A and B are shown apart, each in its own frame.
Chain A
Amino acid sequence: MKSDEPASAGSDAAAAKRPAAPSPQTELIIDTDVHHSLAAKEDLYPFLPSHSRERLAEHGLPRLGNVYYQNGGYQGIRADCLKSPDEDSAAARSSFSLFQEKLLGACGVNVAILNGELTAAFVTLADADYSADLCRAFNDWTVANWLSKDDRFRCALTVPMHQPEAAVREIERLGGHPGVVGIYVICGSPRLYGQRCFDRVYAACVEHGLVVALHFSGEGAGMNPPPTAAGFPSYYAETYLLRPQFYQAHLSSFLFEGTFEKFPSLRVVFLESGFAWVPAFRWRADTAWKALRSQTPWVKRLPSEYIDAHVRFSTQPMEEPASAQALGEVLEWMHGANSLMFASDFPHWDFDAPATVAQCFPAAMRRQVLSGNALQTYPKLHGLARA
């Protein structure tokens, strides 16, 4: 794929202004976690039925959960993405040309998978129909304003996972779009995602060649249980440290409910989960299975083997152990050469650039991390591998 070429004439101007990409530009770079958002509630109006449009107009966009009222950077994003120091971050979060310039251009990202950061606000609403309407409108807005303008952008659909039948409808409605490569699911949930009520969602994902991309957010929001066994943390730094347990809970559920036995081609992507916890989890899961196999006899293999076959992890935020040697051991223990995929988290403040992240990995792993693992994991990106 000539992915450096914009897909439409409309983006030629932005392409012309794009600064020269730094090395390693010879490598294909797939960014598995990019967060786009709305500039304003009005963006969704063309895509909503009138009753939901009136409701949105009157009450405004729902907020992310209270765990995330505070964030790093400036309102959660890179301050260097703002046009002026006091500008509200919504303009940058929703700026198509900014994403082209600072991510695709400056960082040489060839494929950017958009995961809408307002997902948590939409899918934690108890009102099933309004929630589904907002998800649908957001996806349509994404297709019209991002995917259709530059085919370097792909997206994972925002789906109302808390009502699986509505999530399936949205997958069936838009899952066939060539730019839709997954569903975007937040860790905050009334139920653990391996439970059988979600099987229909995974069946739809497999049918449409979509991965399940899991990302923290929404813990403790709306109908969701608190983010820890002892309630709510006070500060954002705590939520940062808590993230691995969100993913561990869902991964345990996937493994022992037999999700990967039910759906042998399903792929689950853990975005922004960190990854140094993965070796210890693998060991503990294997220990638990050996001891308790008879309670879940449909789990046929070591849990770590299912993780190898079905679960991938994003690089951002990069783990920063005290020694490079320690990172090498973690990579070996988690089979990182086959399981880690680059993510920038653009435009968020804890962004990682591909050129500098690549340097953290052994040279032999870099291509796999920057693109190879993503090409193999996302069925709808398989075609890029041949180009």
Chain B
Amino acid sequence: MASPALEPFPVCRTAELPPGSRRIAELRGISIGVFNLAGQYFALRNRCPHRSAPLCEGRLMGLVKADQAYAYTTEREGEILRCPWHGWEFDIRTGRSVALPETIRSKCYQTSVERSEPEGRVDTYPVSQREDMVVVWLPKPASTERARDRPGDP
């Protein structure tokens, strides 16, 4: 996981983020949602690319499909995030829009569960709390990320 361009940020312990749950954290001033899908962790920016809504506060849905008209099927329950403001759907695993995956996507971040002592600011945590730590990896500050996210920010 460790890339020289990425910086680790601990979010919580795995016990605090059971399957199907989410946690929204502010990491270096950026609001990020971390989701546990059946033991896998995914992190998305908590800002919808459409109208800057707090995307990660949206409802978790299944992927509704139809091979032909009126033939509904639902799969991947809980893996589709529906933005609370205008209903755009995003695949939590990829950050891509369900409707237009090639052109619309939410910013995603790498995650990992760190059992050993990670680099950087994780050092500030006591060792006993570092085990089973869910970590989100952000690009190092040379990036152009905004310092603060507020709902409605352009």
Interface positions of A (Cβ within 8 A of B):
196, 257-258, 261-262, 289-298, 302
B82 CB contacts on chain A under 8 angstroms:
294
Taking the closest CB of chain A, its distance from the CB of B117, in whole angstroms, is 43
Contact in complex: B68, A298 (CB < 8 Å):
yes
Size category of the B interface is: 20 to 34
B72 CB contacts on chain A under 8 angstroms:
297
Q: Which residue of A lies closest to B69 (CB)?
A: A258
Judged by a CB distance under 8 angstroms, whether B66 is at the interface is yes
Given the contacts A290-B99, A293-B98, A293-B99, A298 and B69 also touching, CB distance less than 8 Å: yes
Contact with A along B94-130 (1 / 0, CB 8 A): 0001111000000000000000000000000000000
Taking the closest CB of chain B, its distance from the CB of A322, in whole angstroms, is 32
Interface centre among A289, A290, A294 (most CB of B within 10 A): A294
Judged by a CB distance under 8 angstroms, whether B61 is at the interface is yes
A258 CB contacts on chain B under 8 angstroms:
68-70
Contact with A along B42-78 (1 / 0, CB 8 A): 0000000010000000000100111111111000000
15 interchain pairs, CB-CB under 8 A:
A257-B69, A258-B68, A261-B69, A290-B88, A290-B100, A291-B87, A292-B87, A293-B98, A294-B82, A297-B64, A297-B65, A297-B66, A298-B66, A298-B69, A298-B70
Bound-complex Cα distance A387 to B4 (A): 67
Contact in complex: A294, B70 (CB < 8 Å):
no
B65 CB contacts on chain A under 8 angstroms:
297
Taking the closest CB of chain A, its distance from the CB of B53, in whole angstroms, is 12
Bound-complex Cα distance A291 to B86 (A): 6
B68 CB contacts on chain A under 8 angstroms:
258, 261-262, 298
Contact in complex: B88, A196 (CB < 8 Å):
no
A196 CB contacts on chain B under 8 angstroms:
69-70
Judged by a CB distance under 8 angstroms, whether B79 is at the interface is no
Contact in complex: A302, B70 (CB < 8 Å):
no
Q: Which residue of A lies closest to B61 (CB)?
A: A294
B97 CB contacts on chain A under 8 angstroms:
290
Judged by a CB distance under 8 angstroms, whether B89 is at the interface is yes
Bound-complex Cα distance A291 to B89 (A): 8
B61 CB contacts on chain A under 8 angstroms:
294
**Besides A258-B69, A290-B86, A290-B97, 13 other CB < 8 A contacts?**
A262-B68, A290-B50, A290-B100, A291-B87, A291-B88, A292-B87, A294-B64, A294-B89, A296-B66, A297-B65, A298-B66, A298-B68, A298-B71
Taking the closest CB of chain A, its distance from the CB of B19, in whole angstroms, is 23
Bound-complex Cα distance A269 to B67 (A): 27
A294 CB contacts on chain B under 8 angstroms:
61, 64, 82, 89, 98
Taking the closest CB of chain A, its distance from the CB of B118, in whole angstroms, is 38
